[in-house]
A and B are shown apart, each in its own frame.
Chain A
Amino acid sequence: MTEPVDHPAARALAERHRLRIWEAIPWLLALGFFFAFPKHLGFGTELLVTVLFAISLDLVLGYAGIVTLGQAAFFGAGAYTVGILAKQGIWHEPITGLLLAALVAAAVGFGSGLVLLRTQGLTLLMLTLCTMALLEEAANLAHDYTGGFDGLDSLPIAPLFGRFEFNPLYPTTQYLYVLAVLFVCFVFVRMLVYSPFGQSLRGIRENMLRMHAVGAPVRGRLVLCYTLSAAIAGVAGGIWAQANAYVNLGTLGLDRAATVLIILVLGGHGRLYGAFIGAVAYISLSHFLARIYPTAWQLGLGLLLVVIALFARNGILGIAAALRRPAHRAAS
């Protein structure tokens, strides 16, 4: 009676969280980058922070189906937490600083989530945007603490483990530090999305009404997911501030929120690795387009997005999955 059911579908579900060999590739590439391009580590650090931020968005957007344009609110909350604490001379230690950034961003996520997640669709989209705009304006007005429009620069961040200095000119410490934090956060998110909790988030994304009908506390799950995602976005923002020794209003801006959304759409949402592919694709594309068409490079990006939205709704990874489907029909 209780022996496991031996069925391909049951096996696929029971084993889908297993690590696959190819999952080592992005990490090997990131480490390879460190040795191959020592002069571009600043760029590499920025890229890794972007990936981390995109992963936080993937959790809410790709898995729980929460449509948000305000994810930068949490990035900024984390960045300003690190910035203000350092500038006021209250806290300089980087790792605990990140935990504080996560806490503050999580609190913002929890508070706003309680209110926002009563709504759906366009209303939700607008409210997330409003939350971010309100925070940005608050940061602008609280000039004494945030530096207003000028932001806070030359943040005094203590060396990592008391030993490794954050040198803005040779950001080797920053690069490895960000890579390590990205890895930890990624492992956490990966665990989350393959858990029963993650499965119930997919259920909410696919059909909220049915989730109510199977007795799921839908809003509680959404708020929890939103809070966790906010915490990760806060870590991304905090580490960005530490790596650059700098915070400005741009961390809270629509530009950043929209860019990370584009990255996720480009790479493929709800697929964990879409954030990696999307960030690399976005940054190389904008680089390439800016070279060949410096005045209107964003036009090219816009056209590409239109094409993706029309023909490849699941992004680059979605195309790859579609090509593999006849051979592999693994449960998503």
Chain B
Amino acid sequence: MSTPPLLETRALYRNFGALAAARDINFRLEAGARHALIGPNGAGKTTFVNLLTGVVRPTTGAVLLKGRDITGVAQAERVKLGIARTFQINRLFRRLSVLENVYIAVAERVGAAPSMFRPAGRRRDVVDESMRLLETLKLSGDAARRISELPYGRQRLVELAIALGLKPEVLLLDEPAAGVPSAESHIILDAIDRLPREIAVLIIDHDMDLVFRFAERITVMVSGAVFATGSPREIAAAADVRAVYLGQASRG
């Protein structure tokens, strides 16, 4: 038997009442992948992310990480196993500094966060790692600023920084450039381009420019089910995909 994919779902179903938000999803994310998930609004993309991260449990079916069944594993535990995500709408610690935002994630990963009896600043390892991460994202100039003082594009970078502070093997990017003015969007795209290959990236997006620039494999979802999977070239050429999606929304 060949090595299992990094992340896999098998016959995943999720119903919200009568609505089937996920129908028979069989999905594979390989190690180091650059994979994109696209689909019209309401296709179930967010539900799928929530199923992968453990926010929502499937009605039936399984989620596997490196061949191990993690369907019953709680969200916080999945983070520890290496699955991190960013949010479509910023979910940041708005009144804290950029450095503190990343500190929280790093402290959680290295197990420093429960410590009560010594100052946060004494964990120089956590402070320094957070600072270096900001440097790689060219955010160190803003490290002392509060999130609420940053332009939106930079805030999106902090979203990414928090997720990277968790040193994930799987990174789920939910519309990473959403809401960023086009003049600033290159800073997000450049940061995504520079992500190390050890991280498998699944990007969920409407923005076709971004998806085709970045993805090596694309999965199209429609009405809660996988409609097509293939290389960008195959997806762009598939007439039925154009019909359901590409034709009606060349730009999200």
Contacts and interface: CB of A to CB of B under 8 A. Distances in A.
Contact of A331 (B87, B97, B119, B140): B97
B215 interface: no
A258 to B, nearest CB: 25
Interface in A293-332: 329, 331-332
A195 B128 contact: no
**Residue among B84, B91, B112 with the highest chain A CB neighbour number at 10 A:** B91
Contacts, number: 157
Nearest to A215: B79
A13 B76 CA distance: 26
Contacts of B162: 210, 214
A201 B121 CA distance: 16
A67 B123 CA distance: 30
Interface stretch (A2-10, A96-104, A132-140, A142-150): A2-10
A9 B131 contact: yes
A213 B92 contact: no
B113 A196 contact: yes
A13 B87 contact: no
B91 A213 contact: yes
Interface in A154-206: 191-192, 194-200, 202-203, 206
Given A196-B114, A215-B79, A5 B120 contact: no
Q: Which of A2, A210, A218 has the most C-beta atoms of chain B within 10 angstroms of its own C-beta?
A: A210
Given A14-B121, A14-B127, A191-B117, A200 B107 contact: yes
Given A13-B100, A213-B87, A331-B97, A194 B120 contact: yes
A209 interface: yes
A12 interface: yes
A200 B114 CA distance: 8
A74 B108 CA distance: 30
Contacts of B84: 213-214
Contacts of A329: 144-145
Given A199-B100, A213-B79, A214-B79, A13 B121 contact: yes
Contacts of A197: 113-116
A196 B126 contact: yes
A178 to B, nearest CB: 25
A10 B116 contact: no
Nearest to A209: B91
B247 to A, nearest CB: 35
Contacts of A332: 95-97, 146
A226 to B, nearest CB: 14
Given A10-B128, A202-B93, A331-B97, A215 B76 contact: yes
A23 interface: no
8 contacts: A9-B140, A195-B115, A197-B113, A199-B104, A206-B95, A210-B91, A214-B165, A215-B80
Given A2-B128, A202-B96, 18 more contacts: A10-B127, A12-B144, A13-B99, A13-B100, A14-B121, A195-B115, A199-B100, A199-B104, A199-B107, A202-B93, A202-B104, A203-B93, A206-B95, A207-B91, A209-B87, A209-B91, A211-B104, A213-B84
Interface of B: 53, 55, 75-80, 84-85, 87, 91-100, 103-105, 107-109, 112-124, 126-128, 131-132, 135, 140, 143-146, 162, 165-166
